[in-house]
Amino acid sequence: MATEDHHNEEHMTLRKFVALRVHNALSSIKRPVVEANNFEIKHVVIQMYNGIYDEAIKLRLFSFSLRDGARRWLNSLPPGSVESWELLGQKFSNKYFPPSKIAKLWTKIVNFTQFDRESLYDAWERFEELFKKCAHHGMQDWLVMQVFYRSLGSHKKHLLMQQQEVLS
C-alpha cells in the first residue's frame, strides 16, 4: 500500500503535488478557541453568535485581506505562531514597515516642497499621499500643517495669509 502511494506521488504533476501540500498546510495564525463556532459573513455585516469576540474574527479574516507577497509572507510564518491580533500587527509592521522605511518616509514628509507652478490643491494631494504611505506617522495635526505650510512657495504663503485675514 505504501509503495502504491509512493508510486502515485511519482506520477502526479507538480501542480497537483503542490496543491495537496498547500491544501493541508497549517496556518501561522493560531485560531482562538471559541465556545460556539458558528458565524456567517454577509456583505457588510458579520453576525456573531454566542460570544465570538472581535479578535477571533479579525484573526480568521485577516488572510483574506492579503494577496501576493503579503499572503506568502503570512503563510511562511510557523504554524500557530500568531496568537493575538496585537502580535499579528507587530509582525506585519516589522515586515512591511521596518524602521529604515519609516525613516525614509519621515524624511520625505519633513522635506516636502511644493513644485513650481503646482497648485495648492495638487501640492496638498501629493503631501497626503506621503501620509498614506506612512499611516502610523504619529505626527500631530499642528505639526503636519506646519510642515506643509513651510513647504509652500512665498506666493502661496502670502495667498493663505490673505485668506486667513479675510476669514478672521
Whether residues 11 and 35 fall in one domain: yes
pTM of the entire predicted model? 0.51
Which of 96, 127, 156 is where one domain is finished? 96
CA–CA gap between residue 72 and residue 124 (Å, rounded): 35
Number of domains making up the chain = 2
pLDDT along the chain (168 residues), means of 10: 47 47 54 63 52 76 88 90 89 86 88 89 89 77 86 79 70
Whether residues 75 and 119 fall in one domain: no
Closest CA to 151 of 162, 139, 160: 160
Question: Number of H helices and number of E strands within the chain?
Answer: 9, 2
Note down the domain range covering 118: 99-167
